[in-house]
Structure 1
Amino acid sequence: MPSPTSIRFDEPVIDRLSSYVARHPGLTRSAVAARYVDEGLRMEEHPGILFRDGPTGRRATVVGGPDVWEIVRTLKAARASEPDLSEDELLTMLDDNTGAPRRMVRAALEYWGAYPQEVDALIAHAERAEAEGAAAADRAASLLHP
């Protein structure tokens, strides 16, 4: 259970916070403030990382690039398929195949190293969604083909 903490905000910040909460039913000022403080501290700890909303909720992304989970998932798959590649060869392969430069990969890896459960949960969610989509497509195709 979180512990209560008293924080004093300037009036313009309170106004923006209240406006944000009014536009997002179900959120409280306390929850929004806690989320943004946490994200701000994470961005400070991990330069090159920011947070954005999307279909799977709020998640860490690399500035100017994809979501952290996407980079980590691709790197895990590349390592699994090419277990003998050196770090340099692996990073070069990733850059060649995805366009993700080393700085993005390193930022994503450092974030994943600090928050592996969060990133791995997003990877697992994506894999489940892909499997469910493939199964649905197979079912639909089975009606069209004997």
Structure 2
Amino acid sequence: MSRTDLQHRSFRLSKALLERLRRHATTRQSSQTLLVERYIAEGIAMDTYPLILFRDSPVGRRATLEGTRLDVAQVVETIHNEGGSIEGAAAYLSLTPVQVRACVRYFADHRDEVVDYTKRVGAENGRLRAAWEREQAVLV
């Protein structure tokens, strides 16, 4: 969403909650508005897509499968590697087909977001690999 799409809304929240939000925003070096926007968006997504939750990573927030360390993107990639088989991906990843389908459902509705995250991970991996190769050249 572009910042120009913002609309003002007024909500009544407890003083204690607002103070927690203020402290958390300060700790995370973020604005309260950005945190509230993220919490609402991710809360709605977690209600809409059971088994999907969100975690921080070095390249931004990512959709993950609850109870695992797997990103939605990793599960979807495994499905493709298994010829489109949900059961094959589930067996390979030691998941249930229900867990794999939860990732498929999220991906189907948020393809651009997941693909964008995957591209950022690839770029960061490339940057780290290049740095490692430069370091190795010094050691030889």
1:63 is matched with 66
**Counterpart in the other structure of 2:109:** 114
* Structure with larger Rg: 1
The superposition leaves residues 50-102 of structure 1 with CA deviations (integer Å, 9 ceiling, x where unpaired) of: 111122221111111211111112222333xxxxxxx6xx2232122221321
**Cα displacement (A) at 1:127:** 3.6
Shift of 1:136: 6.7
CA–CA distance in structure 1, aligned partners of residues 98 and 60 of structure 2? 25
C-alpha distance in 2 between matches for 1:128 and 1:63:
26
Q: What secondary structure is seen at the aligned counterpart in 2 of 1:56?
A: coil
TM-score, normalising length: structure 2: 0.80
Structure 1 stretches of 5 or more lacking a match? Answer: 80-86
Over residues 16-69 of structure 1, what are the superposed CA-to-partner deviations in whole Å (9 max), with x where a residue is unaligned?
Answer: 1011012112x1111111110111011111111111112222111111121111
4+ aligned runs moved over 3 Å, structure 1: 126-141
Q: What SS class does the counterpart of residue 76 from structure 1 fall into?
A: helix
Distance 1:11 1:134 in 2: 47
1:6 Cα shift?
A: 1.3
How far has the Cα of 1:129 moved from its partner? 4.3
Counterpart among 44, 48, 51 of residue 51 in structure 2: 48
What is the letter of the counterpart of residue 22 of structure 2? S
For these two proteins, the number of residue pairs brought into alignment is 133
Cross-structure match for 1:84: none
Does 2:18 correspond to 1:14? yes
- Matching residue's letter, 1:10: S
Matching residue within 31, 34, 47 for 1:31: 34
| CA spacing shift, 1:10–1:111, aligned 2, 3 Å | same
Q: In 2, distance between residues paired with 1:20 and 1:133? A: 30
Cα distance between partner residues in 2 of 1:128 and 1:10: 42
**1:96 equivalent among 88, 91, 99:** 91
Contact 1:73-1:123 within 8 A present in 2 as well:
no
Alignment partners' CA distance in 2, 1:78 and 1:137: 32
| Cα distance change, pair 123–100 in 1 and its aligned pair in 2 (3 A) | farther
Unaligned regions of 5+ residues in structure 2, if any?
none
User: Sequence identity, in percent?
Assistant: 28
TM-score (norm 1): 0.77
